[in-house]
Amino acid sequence: MLLSRSLKSQRLSYRRLAPPSPRVGRVGPKGRGGGEIASRPPEPEADRSIAEEAPLPDANASTLPTLGEGEGAKPTNIEKSADPTLAEPEPVIPPVEEELPIPVNIAEEPFEQTLSEVLTPPVHVQEPVIDVPVPVEPVAPAKPASSKVTVTRTVEEKRAAEPAAPEPEKRLSWFERLRKGLSRSSQQLGDSIGGIFTRRKLDEDTLQDLEDVLIQADLGMETAIRITGTLSATRYGKDISSEEVRTIMATEIEKVLAPVAKPLELDLSHKPHVILVVGVNGTGKTTTIGKLAAKLTAGGLSVMLAAGDTFRAAAIEQLHIWGQRTGAPVVSSKLGADAAGLAFDAWQQAKEAGSDVLIIDTAGRLQNRTELMDELAKIVRVLGKNDPEAPHTVLQTLDATTGQNALNQVEIFKNIAGVNGLVMTKLDGTARGGILVAISAKHKLPVYFIGVGEQVEDLEPFAAKDFAKAIAGVA
């Protein structure tokens, strides 16, 4: 009995101290049948079986059996008590809660922590503290031994090696641009005059040579006779230099051009004021329309454009581009449409929109093409149905490179379309700028604008004095 209680106490102490271990297979004590127990049965079931089959021995027994008397001897009560599997039922003792490591079953639960996280003790994260930087007074760098700093010297050398930034190009005045544009015409004319008046008195032969030079410069017969007549009346028989001849020539050209140098006037009592632009192919009609629209819109006028050159897709597209640049709406139709019908629709739209000015482009046509000139006359008639005085302004663009043929062009377009104003273009690309003087002397039509470049500002109102001085080469 004492031995049984001692074994119970030992087993209880063992259970309190030993941590629970996973159930793994082991070789246990031999059972009654001599076999080995492969695994330990659950303890509660063993206690119930022992309580039913083997009652506790009597405490008043007189003799104690000896342990292990032969292999075949039956086990005694002490052996039953000593065997943990045959122990009697024990009172239920509440388990002692101890902080023991929990075995992790790798096969059943995913390993969510890394090894470094398991081995690293937990770190208590504190709330972030925002440090406000305290302004620190800048510390002046130590002064070098010499007055020249290496970095500064390097920067100076680098700046010296770098090319200087180009200065913005100075904008030329209109007269300077005009002289530049007419430089080819004036240079050729000046060289010819200089060859005549080199240490030579003014006589009949000299005057005849000068007249030939002026006619070859496309100034026209009338202007040439006018210039030579003035020289003969004032300087005949005297020595005269080429500079003096150019000065007299500039004065006489200005007298020819002054009556035709008029500004374009728009009568806004007729809304819209219709401007019809005509001319032969390649004289710059569409570009002139775009530049003129830019000037008018910049002056606060509302402008509408009409793409009347229905034979050329590029002209329609080009006019739309100018419309986008100037903010002027563009009326256009499909390629090959009736130009007169388009002009009629454009006038109605401009009237409804309250536009101040309507500028109509037309297809380029040679003056000797009768059917094309008849179409131009039709456009003029259709516009007259809307407004008896329309078109109010008929501008003809002239290419300065055309030369004497421009005289014939003006004659025919004036008769068919009623041209009442001229625009001379491309004066910067020819040595035949004198043709404007010949046209003005013969037809006496107002010259509203001249062009010496591709920019909007390169189309300017015509000034007789500036043009005369520029073509004569007088500063």
pLDDT tens figures, 3-30: 455 455 555 444 444 455 444 444 444 4
* Furthest CA-CA distance within the chain: 184
pLDDT at position 402 is: 85
- Assign 300 to helix, strand or coil: coil
pLDDT at position 110 is: 46
pLDDT tens figures, 45-103: 444 444 444 444 444 444 444 444 444 444 444 344 444 444 455 555 655 555 555 54
- Assign 441 to helix, strand or coil: helix
CATH of 262-470, one of 3.40.50.980, 3.90.78.10, 1.20.1270.360, 3.40.50.300: 3.40.50.300
Token digits for 127?
Answer: 């709330």
pLDDT at position 131 is: 52
CATH 1.20.120.140 domain locations along the chain: 174-259
d(CA 320, CA 425): 21
pLDDT tens figures, 71-81: 444 444 434 44
| Number of Cα atoms under 13 Å in the Cβ half of residue 177 | 16
End-to-end CA distance of the chain: 147
List the pLDDT tens digit at each of the 475 positions of the chain. Answer: 444 554 555 554 444 444 554 444 444 444 444 444 444 444 444 444 444 444 444 444 444 444 444 444 444 443 444 444 444 555 556 555 555 555 444 444 444 444 444 445 555 555 555 555 555 555 554 554 544 333 444 434 444 555 655 555 666 776 677 777 777 777 888 888 888 877 568 889 899 999 999 999 899 999 999 999 999 999 888 888 889 999 999 999 999 999 999 999 998 888 899 999 999 988 999 999 999 999 999 999 999 999 999 988 999 999 999 999 999 999 999 888 999 999 999 999 999 999 999 999 999 888 778 888 899 999 999 999 999 999 999 999 999 888 888 999 999 999 999 999 999 998 876 667 889 999 999 999 999 999 887 888 888 899 999 999 989 888 7
pLDDT at position 270 is: 82
d(CA 310, CA 301): 26
Question: For the domain 174-259, what is the CATH superfamily, name and number?
Answer: SRP54, nucleotide-binding domain (1.20.120.140)
Between helix 370-386 and helix 339-353 the angle, nearest 10°, is: 30
CATH 3.40.50.300 domain locations along the chain: 262-470
* Amino acid identity for residue 321 in this structure: I
**Contact between 233 and 215 (Cβ < 8 Å):** no
* Amino acid identity for residue 142 in this structure: A
